[in-house]
Amino acid sequence: MSESASVKDAAAPLERVRRVDARRNLEAIVAAAVPLLCEHPRASMQQIAVAAGLHRATVHRHFPSRDDLLDELRHRAFSASVDELNAVLEQPSADPGDMLERAMVALLSVGNQYRLYFYTTWRSAENEDRAQEISINLIALLTDAQAAGQVRTDLPVKQLAAAIGGLIWAMLPQVAEDDLSIPQAARTIRTLIAAPTA
């Protein structure tokens, strides 16, 4: 074995340790940032570093700017929303209205976990693909619920999907303040878009 190959083999475990440490630090930053920003929306990177138990230079290695950190939080919120919505779709129900309500619970749960509305905008150009995927899935659920006579038909499903997004966004502060539970918020939205009764 050549000397350079031996040096490479010896360096491999150290590199793995560095990668594990970097990943652990990244998760510590994100885990500290979300609750801190919810309480103090203008929290600085220094404050986030302190909350994460890390040196500010370590935080800046992962996120050169505060905007980079906010991009990561938006990315995670959108990815989690897509995953949770897909999990609902993978468990079909004979009741389309029930599936739609479960989808709203899933989206409200992720929204309540990240609470982006406290400290940043919800959408960004980087997340448009995921936003579109969420919209397509909501439209499919709404189409089924309309066909079953459970959702109003006087508005196109695209408009109803947009309305659901707005209603979720509007109700999240009430959920955060414990004025409304997530199931109650989902049920309220379902009631607002329900087909009128005779």
pLDDT along the chain (198 residues), means of 10: 54 68 93 95 96 96 95 94 93 91 96 93 82 93 94 94 94 93 96 85
Domain count, the chain: 2
User: What's the pLDDT score for residue 197?
Assistant: 74
User: What's the pLDDT score for residue 22?
Assistant: 87
User: What's the pLDDT score for residue 158?
Assistant: 95
Write the DSSP string, 70-109: HHHHHHHHHHHHHHHHHHHHTS--S-HHHHHHHHHHHHHH
Q: Kindly report the pTM of this predicted structure.
A: 0.86
User: What's the pLDDT score for residue 125?
Assistant: 79
Same domain, 166 and 81: yes
Burial class of 18 by CB neighbour count within 10 A (0 to 12, 13 to 18, 19+): exposed
User: What's the pLDDT score for residue 123?
Assistant: 74
Domain CATH for 144: 1.10.357.10
Q: CA-CA distance, 140 to 160, in Å (whole number)?
A: 11
**Contact status, residue 124 vs residue 71, Cβ threshold 8 Å:** yes
User: What's the pLDDT score for residue 33?
Assistant: 97
**Contact status, residue 104 vs residue 181, Cβ threshold 8 Å:** no
Same domain, 46 and 109: no
Provide the residue range defining the domain that includes 73: 67-198
Same domain, 58 and 73: no
Same domain, 128 and 194: yes
Domain boundary among 19, 39, 64: 64
Same domain, 72 and 162: yes
Angle, vertex CA 84, rays to CA 78 and CA 86, nearest 5: 100
Neighbouring residues of 171: CB distance < 8 A, sequence distance ≥ 6: 108, 180, 185, 188, 189
Residue 95: φ, ψ to 5°: -105, 105
**Contact status, residue 112 vs residue 172, Cβ threshold 8 Å:** yes
Same domain, 34 and 128: no
Same domain, 123 and 144: yes
